[in-house]
């Protein structure tokens, strides 16, 4: 079976919190976040590759990683391929991780029910009333809420917000965390740095230095009383 992907990274130290992972970027996305830096993937560019070929690469890196991390794009849009790759990685003793925009709760529910998933990273983009503006398209936010509900008790759940200063401010981050605290039982919250580069649309993007994000994360932590917050850049993850 073939899957359309954008890239493979054999060892990443940042994509799964605390663990090294083998990362595959699936093509296609149903969101149009104006700040998206994977625009080729969003429109389905990339290349087709046999899943067996990815598994062979995974086997070669088995000693260096703990997780196969599938991201995108939005991986649930190639559902059959997603299930196949996760089944095969389980057969060789690798744990599975999914990064999703949470718009497809049925797929998430099925992955959990079939015990094919060990780590879920949900990109939670904005307070719900700002969601459509931040993702650049219409969405039934009930689906996002349903995904959170399904994952509420999941053993290893990461929820991430990319801090895009043109769209979000510190009040939004506080609102997001307070909402999540009410909705989800166990989760690690991560604020991701946005690096303006080649994005879906051209705007005068604001850039926030990592030290400033750390200060913002400290305030969010204090105001929300969340025990821990993590800050992720392209190269590092730091606990606040």
Can residue 25 be called a binding residue for ligand SF4 (CB under 6 A)? Answer: no
42 binds ligand SF4 (CB under 6 A): yes
Residue labelled with tokens 């067996």: 52
For residue 73, state whether it binds ligand SF4 (rule: CB under 6 A): yes
Residue 130 near ligand SF4 by CB under 6 A = no
**Separation of alpha carbons 158 and 116, rounded Å:** 17
Strand, coil or helix: 19: strand
Q: How many residues bind ligand SF4 (CB under 6 A)?
A: 13
Q: Decide if 85 contacts 51 (C-beta within 8 A).
A: yes
What does the chain come to in residues? 240
Q: Look-up: residue for tokens 């650049």?
A: 136
Shortest Cβ distance from residue 135 to ligand SF4 (Å)?
Answer: 6
Work out which of 36, 150, 177, 229 binds ligand SF4, going by CB under 6 A: 36
Per CB under 6 A, the segment of 69-77, 84-92, 138-146, 218-226 that binds ligand SF4 is 69-77
Distance CA 17, CA 141 (A): 26
Q: Does 101 bind ligand SF4 (CB under 6 A)?
A: yes
Measured in degrees and rounded to the nearest 5, phi and psi for residue 129 equal -75, -10
Which residues does 113 contact at the CB level (< 8 Å), separation at least 6?
A: none
C-alpha span between 141 and 169 (Å, rounded):
20
CB of 29 or CB of 216, closer to ligand SF4: 29
List 31, 86, 188, 230, residue binding ligand SF4 (CB under 6 A): 31
Nearest distance, CB of residue 33 and ligand SF4, angstroms: 3
Taking the complex as a whole, how short is the minimal distance between the CB of residue 126 and ligand SF4, in angstroms? 11
Q: Please, which residue, 101 or 224, has the CB nearer to ligand SF4?
A: 101
Tokens of 146: 């349903």
* 89 interacts with ligand SF4 by CB under 6 A: no
3-state secondary structure of 161: strand
| CB of 32 closer than 8 Å to CB of 136 | yes
Q: Does 29 bind ligand SF4 (CB under 6 A)?
A: yes
Q: Which residues bind ligand SF4 (CB under 6 A)?
A: 29, 31-33, 36, 38, 41-42, 72-74, 101, 135
């Amino acid at each position: 079976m073939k899957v359309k992907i954008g890239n493979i990274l054999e060892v990443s130290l940042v994509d799964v919190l605390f663990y090294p992972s083998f990362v595959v970027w699936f093509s296609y996305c149903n969101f149009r976040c104006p700040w998206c830096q994977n625009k080729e993937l969003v429109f389905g560019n990339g290349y087709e590759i046999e899943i067996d070929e990815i598994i062979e690469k995974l086997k070669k890196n088995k000693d260096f990683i703990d997780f196969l991390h599938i991201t995108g794009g939005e991986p649930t849009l190639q559902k059959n391929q997603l299930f196949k790759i996760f089944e095969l990685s389980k057969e060789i003793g690798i744990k599975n991780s999914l990064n999703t925009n949470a718009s497809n709760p049925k797929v998430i529910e099925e992955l959990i029910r079939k015990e094919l998933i060990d780590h879920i990273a949900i990109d939670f983009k904005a307070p719900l009333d700002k969601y459509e503006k931040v993702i650049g398209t219409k969405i039934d936010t009930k689906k996002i809420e349903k995904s959170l509900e399904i994952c509420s008790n999941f053993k290893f759940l990461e929820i991430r917000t990319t801090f895009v200063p043109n769209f979000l401010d510190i009040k939004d981050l506080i609102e997001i965390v307070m909402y999540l605290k009410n909705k989800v039982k166990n989760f690690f919250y991560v604020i991701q740095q946005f690096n303006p580069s080649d994005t879906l649309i051209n705007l005068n993007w604001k850039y926030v230095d990592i030290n400033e994000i750390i200060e913002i994360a400290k305030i969010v932590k204090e105001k929300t009383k969340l025990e821990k917050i993590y800050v992720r850049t392209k190269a590092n993850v730091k606990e606040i």
